[in-house]
């Protein structure tokens, strides 16, 4: 049988390579829950070296929960130069961190993945700006 659900928690940061290994080791992954409040260590180092990263794909992912993750993981999963999310994915996020990572829901690099979401649950937020529907055109908000 194949692993379809993973819940990740650690007090040390998870790096891009770790998520790449997860995607390769569990190709049928449907649900990913991430709990980590530590910033990624190699983020600044990659910027300095101008490293190109492999774009991570989770072709069967149905649900992603990053609501209890540090802001770096919002960039990890929302930016299309790091991760390619499948269509109709359900995502659970902290509104304040999502807003910060996407620069008030206007950042180009996260628009593609956000447009693929069918359901977005923003923790600690019930009122949304009008332009949010442009950024998440297929999503229902809760």
Mean pLDDT of the chain: 92
Q: What is the DSSP letter of 38?
A: S
Q: What is the pTM of this model?
A: 0.91
User: Any idea how long the chain is?
Assistant: 142
Residue 50, exposed/middle/buried by CB under 10 A (0-12, 13-18, 19+)?
Answer: exposed
Tokens of 59: 């072709």
32 CB-side CA count, 13 A: 24
Using alpha carbons, select from 100, 42, 34, 40 the residue that is nearest to residue 61. Answer: 34
Q: What is the pLDDT of residues 75-92, one digit of tens each?
A: 999 999 999 999 999 999
Query: How many domains does the chain divide into?
Result: 1
Q: If you ran DSSP here, which 8-state letter would residue 102 be given?
A: T
Per-residue pLDDT reduced to its tens digit, 92-132: 999 999 999 999 999 999 999 999 999 999 987 888 888 89
What residue has token string 């961190």? 97
Structural domain span for residue 72? 5-141
């Amino acid at each position: 049988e194949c692993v379809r659900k993973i819940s990740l928690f650690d007090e040390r940061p998870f790096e891009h390579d770790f998520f790449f290994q997860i995607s390769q080791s569990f190709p049928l992954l449907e649900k990913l829950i991430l709990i980590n409040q530590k910033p990624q260590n190699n983020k600044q180092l990659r910027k300095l070296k101008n490293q190109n990263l492999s774009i991570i794909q989770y072709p069967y992912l149905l649900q992603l929960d990053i609501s209890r993750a540090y802001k770096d993981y919002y960039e990890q999963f929302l930016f299309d130069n790091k991760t390619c999310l499948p269509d109709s994915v359900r995502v659970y996020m902290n509104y304040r961190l999502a807003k910060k990572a996407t620069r008030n829901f206007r950042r180009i690099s996260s628009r593609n993945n956000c447009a693929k979401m069918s359901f977005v649950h923003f923790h600690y937020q019930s009122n949304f700006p009008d332009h949010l529907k442009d950024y998440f055109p297929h999503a229902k908000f809760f």
